[in-house]
Chain A
Amino acid sequence: MKKFLKTSFVNFSRWVSPALLGTILVALISGYILFVPPIHGLADNGDFYRSILSNGIYRLPTSYSQYSDYVITKFGIMQYFNENNVSVLSSQTLFIQIALFLNKLFYSKTIFTIQFMGLVYYLFYLGGIYLLINALVHPFRKLKHYFLALLIVLIFADSAYTLYFNSFFAEPGMLVLMVYICAAIISLARNVYSKRWPMITLFFVSTVLLITNKQQNAPLALSFGVVAIGIMFLPHFKARRMATALGILIVLFSGIGIYKSIGSEIVGANTFQTFSHGTLLETGDPTKKIERGGVDGQFALMRNENYYSKDYATLDPSSPYVEKHLMKKTGFGWIMRYYLANLKQFNNLLDLAAKDIAAVQPRAVGDFVRGSHHKPGEQVKYFTLYSSLVGAFFPGKYAFDCLLAVGFIAVYSVGLYLDFKSNRYMGILRFFLIFGLMTIVVFVPIVSIIGDGDADLAKHLFLIPISLNMSLLIFVSDLINHTLWNTKGDKADV
């Protein structure tokens, strides 16, 4: 019996690599939820218009509200000149245009169906997953490597992530690109492919696309700049070291570019919400506190108000009065000084952010389509084991996240030191990847709180759970491959 099992496993492993197994499983699990009718996805929270109007897609008129409750599957494609100029510069446009092209080719020239959006992300995602698993387990086909592949499936086929594909949010693009970035670096570190330039190109292209995907990603240029430093340490590489340096520069400039493209209206919204959703929160009565900072204490009454109010506003936040007496005073410098003077409140806000890290699946919008016999706003529970476990047990403390980051960096700096001494590069590349991911974990909450308060916080933090998951997977794979500190043993390393 034991022998039979062993031979069948050997036969199985000869035909099916861990990477193939994982990719097929992800394809089946997420394919079912995305494409088998009634399909699932994410309903519009009111943000879709930003990405669809500039791409020539509009909402079809309906008798019911198209917001929040149910996923809308059909949209109209504009037939004439689109007067909505590109309001927000974003690489998301690229994904939408591909989906639009496929839709026109196979489905209709007038009606856009959301599955094509899902299909584009889905295909890119599967490619990324294959590269990622291959990077982590190549060239081994032992049982434990299949186990690692299954762990990746458990984490990355989680519906909390894949539901995003059937929506016009920018997040699925970020997820897909993040998978490619990590797969590229790990492949380079473990020398999975004989030629290096395809992975280096993949890394830089994905990074630039990720940074330009959403304006809030601008500061990430620094994190990925750090990751790219690792590439400089690759051997026999003098001529291309210049090219890599150029790549880093492009990454940094794309960050600056996307930051500069933020319109004045969005700056106004952010300035206001940093105040109403940040400085006024997590404290007893902020009246006197903001007065000490030189702002009229009456504005404390704006606590929790949105710049774009949903129904009624006592005083329109975009009015000249608020601009003159509030927002002119509460610039970046003021916010920094305020938080420095109220460190405890700032810490509370960071803990609030830490709690939101685990909330990947947006609870405010429904996951089902109309007519699927589900309640409005109901959430999918299918294949959400990992995200629910994390949601239940991951501690919502910012200090914990920092400790985790310090732990990861400390563990991998040993590998860095050893490889540096013995002229190997795997540990160096890996360290800079982990270091870059950890800067995301540590700094994105701070940037989000200072930049926009707790408004849309969970979505601003979307990359953090992905970074943590990636680090966890790298860690587990290093344990399995026995390469945590001694990279010499890695058979992939030629």
Chain B
Amino acid sequence: MFKRKVSLVFLIIASIMLLFTFPQKVDAASNNRVLLVYDSQNDVKNDKVNIDALQRSLTSMNLQVKTLQQSDYKKGMLNNKYLGVITMVNWRQVGLTNQAFIQDRDSFSGIKLHIGEELTQTEISQLKVQVKKIYQQQLILTEGHDQETLPFKQSITVITKTEDSGHQIGVLSSQQANQKKYPFGYINGKQGYLPFFSNEGLSLMVQTKMIAQLFSRAGKYQPLLTITNVTPYTNLATLDKLSLFCYKNEIPFAISMTSVSENTEMKAFSRFTAVLRNVENRGGIIFLQTPTVSSGIDSDGQIINKNFLTYIVSLARQQVFPVGISSEGFWNQDKVLRENSLKFADHWLLLPNEEKVTYVDEDNNAKSSQETFFGMSASSLNNVKKNDETFFTIPTALTISMPYSQKQLEHVQSEIKSLNLTWFDPVDDDLRTSLNTETTALQYKHGQYIVNGKIEDIHPASSDLNKQFSDGKSTALFSGYFKIQGNILAVFFVIIMIVLLIFIFIGQRIYWNRFRRK
């Protein structure tokens, strides 16, 4: 008894010490709400992808972002409950016109970030810089050893004079003979400025770095290699080969896959899950991706909630255990969708929005999770120099779309090899996740899967998928007998038929002959 008490006390002390020695990377308990106000979605140039990318990167910094179009802003909305405010001028021709917002922002004492043109005099004086507008330029962005040539810009507001107290992230330089250099991201105390926001490439990396620094959320993360667009209709042989390739090359990876809520009794489904078990056994982790929203009919979220319960139960039954949930960014901006899918998991993977976005109950009031991977396509980093020392400031998933044919597979394999990065390793980097629904509790700890409190061993599937899933027709004991019996009966009836026909023929001859005159 005494021994037990001592060990209990020891355990408590040890766990308290653990808490102090490993502080969390981000202090989630503190205020983490951010207000994002933009001028216009700019549908003409499809620049709403920039808003989506900004929202997702903020979520990955564990910030809860509330997004407003400027016309929806009412006086007093920006208050001390917010840690910071971000102004985004997405469409220069529209610009900021809401005076209530501009006044509230000027007097706001928290962190302030301005993205895009139309800096006001107050902002300029608060940043303590001088700016100027330059026109029709194609600039080069440099950060450390990396360089990227930016797309041609009609006009851009750059900082020409800075203060010693501020610091800059990334350098913009012109391509003219007398090359001029301007800071790209600029931070002065609680004030920050980015001349534009782009949703890809080096600019995106530098932007997130700058924003993370401004909000003191910058960390050091290795990217997670993620295969996206995996569905039950994917070429499973290719998926199996790809996972084997990663395993053999010791590349840890993740897949983001959708599942079905019906027909889970079919062979096609067991074949799908068999390949996914192989993925798990080869060091891959699985994110369960949300389905495509076809209509906003599910206004109370019952359907999507039920779908998710079915996805998870049917997958878990076949020993496929998702570690988190992945979705397009807009799912986090929609109350019904978020509450009935993302909230089940404490690890999210947010991908860029596809072309068609259908909301069920849009609230633009994003929540954050324990850790959210920011999804960006690996190919968007093609022009960025990478090495095994390359780090990201936020948890990042570099995505590669699932190949179909052998040729595409080989292309993807060479792409992965050429990326030459040190990948995030769920086992070595001690990923701990949990996914809880009303019926199922899944946990992932250090490479182990724990289901409802019990550690699960995952049975590998046979290498020959087709062999494993034979037709499955059981041959009944008497089936041969019945078949033979049926044949005998058929022959019997045919004989009777023929005999009858002969009798009829003979009979009618006799009958007619009786009337024939002789």
Q: A297-B271, A298-B271, A298-B272 are in contact. Are A309 and B235 (CB under 8 A)?
A: no
Q: Which residue in A302, A312, A322 is a CB contact (below 8 Å) of B294?
A: A312
Q: A298-B234, A315-B233 are in contact. Are A285 and B291 (CB under 8 A)?
A: no
Q: Is the CB of B267 within 8 A of A285?
A: yes
Residues on B with C-beta less than 8 A from A297 are 267-268, 271
**CB nearest neighbor in A for B229:** A321
A83 is an interface residue with CB less than 8 A from chain B: no
Residues on B with C-beta less than 8 A from A304 are 262-263
* Interface-side segment among B296-304, B413-421, B430-438: B296-304
- CB contact list, B452-499 vs A, under 8 A: 469, 471-472
Residues on A with C-beta less than 8 A from B326 are none
Residues on A with C-beta less than 8 A from B471 are 288
Q: What per-residue 1/0 map shows which CB atoms of B35-70 lie under 8 Å from chain A?
A: 000000000000000000000000000000000000
Q: Which of B232, B235, B291, B294 has the most chain A CB atoms closer than 10 A to its own CB?
A: B294
Which interface class (under 10, 10 to 19, 20 to 34, 35 or more) fits B? 20 to 34
Q: A288-B267, A297-B267 are in contact. Are A315 and B292 (CB under 8 A)?
A: yes
Q: A287-B268, A288-B267, A288-B471 are in contact. Are A316 and B233 (CB under 8 A)?
A: no
Residues on A with C-beta less than 8 A from B293 are 311-312
Q: What per-residue 1/0 map shows which CB atoms of B264-277 lie under 8 Å from chain A?
A: 01111101100000
**CB nearest neighbor in B for A65:** B297
B79 is an interface residue with CB less than 8 A from chain A: no
Q: What per-residue 1/0 map shows which CB atoms of A278-291 lie under 8 Å from chain B?
A: 00000001111000
Q: Which residue in A287, A308, A314 is a CB contact (below 8 Å) of B291?
A: A314
Shortest beta-carbon distance, A303 to chain B, in Å? Answer: 5
Residues on A with C-beta less than 8 A from B232 are 298, 301, 314-315
Q: Is the CB of B291 within 8 A of A312?
A: yes
Q: Is the CB of A316 within 8 A of B294?
A: yes
CA distance A297 to B233 in the complex (A): 8
Residues on A with C-beta less than 8 A from B297 are 310-311
A325 is an interface residue with CB less than 8 A from chain B: yes
Residues on B with C-beta less than 8 A from A309 are 292, 294-295
Residues on A with C-beta less than 8 A from B292 are 309, 312-316
A493 is an interface residue with CB less than 8 A from chain B: no
Q: Is the CB of A303 within 8 A of B262?
A: yes
Residues on B with C-beta less than 8 A from A325 are 233, 404
Shortest beta-carbon distance, A70 to chain B, in Å? Answer: 16
Q: A311-B303, A325-B233 are in contact. Are A301 and B294 (CB under 8 A)?
A: no
CA distance A309 to B294 in the complex (A): 6
CA distance A287 to B274 in the complex (A): 15
Q: Is the CB of B263 within 8 A of A300?
A: yes
CA distance A315 to B404 in the complex (A): 15
Q: Which residue in B231, B266, B267, B295 is a CB contact (below 8 Å) of A314?
A: B231
CA distance A321 to B405 in the complex (A): 13
Q: Which of B265, B268, B293 has the most chain A CB atoms closer than 10 A to its own CB?
A: B268
Q: Which residue in B233, B267, B291 is a CB contact (below 8 Å) of A299?
A: B233
Shortest beta-carbon distance, A419 to chain B, in Å? Answer: 28
B258 is an interface residue with CB less than 8 A from chain A: yes
A47 is an interface residue with CB less than 8 A from chain B: no
Residues on A with C-beta less than 8 A from B261 are 314
Residues on B with C-beta less than 8 A from A316 are 292, 294
Shortest beta-carbon distance, A163 to chain B, in Å? Answer: 25
Shortest beta-carbon distance, B315 to chain A, in Å? Answer: 13
CA distance A286 to B231 in the complex (A): 18
Q: Is the CB of B291 within 8 A of A301?
A: no
Q: Is the CB of B269 within 8 A of A301?
A: yes
CA distance A325 to B405 in the complex (A): 11
CA distance A303 to B293 in the complex (A): 19
Shortest beta-carbon distance, B90 to chain A, in Å? Answer: 28
CA distance A163 to B293 in the complex (A): 34
B400 is an interface residue with CB less than 8 A from chain A: no
B260 is an interface residue with CB less than 8 A from chain A: yes
B307 is an interface residue with CB less than 8 A from chain A: yes
Q: Is the CB of B295 within 8 A of A298?
A: no
Q: Is the CB of B304 within 8 A of A312?
A: yes
B85 is an interface residue with CB less than 8 A from chain A: no
Q: What per-residue 1/0 map shows which CB atoms of A311-334 lie under 8 Å from chain B?
A: 111111000011001100000000
CA distance A299 to B235 in the complex (A): 10
Residues on B with C-beta less than 8 A from A288 are 267, 471
Residues on A with C-beta less than 8 A from B303 are 311-312
Q: Which residue in A287, A296, A311, A314 is a CB contact (below 8 Å) of B260?
A: A314
Q: Which residue in B233, B263, B265, B267 is a CB contact (below 8 Å) of A296?
A: B233
CA distance A326 to B269 in the complex (A): 17
Residues on A with C-beta less than 8 A from B228 are none
Residues on A with C-beta less than 8 A from B258 are 314-315
B259 is an interface residue with CB less than 8 A from chain A: yes
**CB nearest neighbor in B for A304:** B262
Q: Which residue in A296, A300, A312, A321 is a CB contact (below 8 Å) of B298?
A: A312
CA distance A314 to B314 in the complex (A): 15
Q: What per-residue 1/0 map shows which CB atoms of A260-294 lie under 8 Å from chain B?
A: 00000000000000000000000001111000000
Q: Is the CB of B294 within 8 A of A298?
A: no
- CB contact list, B175-220 vs A, under 8 A: none
Q: Is the CB of A301 within 8 A of B263?
A: yes
Q: Is the CB of B236 within 8 A of A310?
A: no
CA distance A300 to B262 in the complex (A): 11
A-B residue pairs in contact (CB < 8 Å), sample of 22:
A285-B265, A285-B266, A286-B266, A287-B266, A287-B267, A287-B268, A288-B471, A296-B233, A296-B235, A298-B271, A300-B263, A303-B266, A308-B294, A309-B295, A311-B303, A312-B292, A312-B293, A312-B294, A312-B298, A314-B231, A314-B291, A315-B258
Given contacts A285-B265, A287-B469, 13 further A-B contacts (CB under 8 A): A286-B266, A287-B268, A298-B234, A301-B233, A309-B292, A311-B295, A311-B304, A312-B298, A312-B303, A314-B233, A315-B231, A315-B232, A315-B233
Binding site for A on B (CB under 8 A): 231-236, 258-263, 265-269, 271-272, 291-295, 297-298, 303-304, 307, 404, 469, 471-472
Which 4 A-B pairs give the minimum distances between C-beta atoms? Answer: A309-B294, A287-B267, A312-B291, A287-B268
